[in-house]
Structure 1
């Protein structure tokens, strides 16, 4: 789903719509803080937001029931990506530097955030493979030596039988 930019007036109405999720025009007029906009103004914005794909309509008799299509979290992600792309060269580090520099987030907040995210897990340590030591401690026998050993064992068995 493609998300489009909203004007500040559209954003303000969407904040109310995100709280309501499903609503009628009368619900908006009741919930909107003072000074309340004119009903025709709200109707116009509803029509625009439906066209932009933020709201869906369902006709119930002579009135429409509206429901939110684009969740608030999706719009936040869209805005943050746009901001990152336009002003911070798609760098999260630059955003964090800016937030700390402007005292919008403290280093203590960051530290506590990362302390919560870091989870200590025991690491399985692989035993080192000591090839040379293995060769010295358990030298491989050549085929000739193996055949000789078999012959010796056979002779011992034969001698024990006698």
Structure 2
């Protein structure tokens, strides 16, 4: 099943629709939190979601009954896969590393999966080469000291 991207407005509406599962337009209007959008706006979004393959329709007399086609879990997998591919070079390890460093996943969370991590100690940056580049005077001083030593040795 090919899953298409949703806009943020479509995604927000889908969150409500996933809770409902099967519904009529009036059900959405009743369940939608305030401020409620206009019925025509919701109807337009439903049409778009049907075209994108997220919903199916069943005509009952003059009205339509809608059903979610793409389960929430499938959409979540799709989004995580896209995120992994576009921002983490397709590496789950990079995602996990990022989440740990950003404190989005704790060591306690990982214990639930029988995974233990040791706190990573941040190393102080080594500015040895940067100092040599930024402070060339030290190099000149060293060369002057060497010249003085050579003079003393000659004497």
Using the size of structure 2 for normalisation, the TM-score is: 0.73
Per the alignment, residue 69 of structure 1 pairs with: 69
Report the Cα distance in structure 1 between the residues aligned to 2:11 and 2:28, rounded to whole angstroms.
Answer: 14
1:90 aligns with 2:95: no
Displacement of 1:114 in angstroms is 2.4
Residue pairs, 1:35-50, within 5 angstroms: 35-50=35-50
Report the Cα distance in structure 1 between the residues aligned to 2:5 and 2:31, rounded to whole angstroms.
Answer: 24
Q: What are the superposed Cα offsets for residues 40-82 of structure 1, whole Å, 9 maximum, x if unpaired?
A: 0000000000000000000000000000000000000000000
Q: What are the superposed Cα offsets for residues 99-140 of structure 1, whole Å, 9 maximum, x if unpaired?
A: 11111110221122226xxxxxxxxxxxxxxxxxxxxxxxxx
Mark the runs of 5 or more structure 1 residues left unpaired by the alignment: 116-162
Mark the runs of 5 or more structure 2 residues left unpaired by the alignment: 116-155
Per the alignment, residue 112 of structure 1 pairs with: 112
Residue pairs, 1:103-142, within 5 angstroms: 103-114=103-114
| Between 42-51 and 100-109, the greater mean CA deviation after superposition | 100-109
Report the Cα distance in structure 2 between the residues aligned to 1:95 and 1:111, rounded to whole angstroms.
Answer: 18
Give secondary structure in 2 for the equivalent of 1:57: strand
Report the Cα distance in structure 2 between the residues aligned to 1:111 and 1:21, rounded to whole angstroms.
Answer: 34
Per the alignment, residue 123 of structure 1 pairs with: none
Give secondary structure in 1 for the equivalent of 2:113: helix
Report the Cα distance in structure 2 between the residues aligned to 1:58 and 1:64, rounded to whole angstroms.
Answer: 6
Give the structure with higher Rg (CA).
1
- Count of aligned pairs between the two proteins: 115
Report the Cα distance in structure 2 between the residues aligned to 1:81 and 1:87, rounded to whole angstroms.
Answer: 10
Per the alignment, residue 57 of structure 1 pairs with: 57
Runs of 4+ in 1 over 4 A off after TM superposition: none
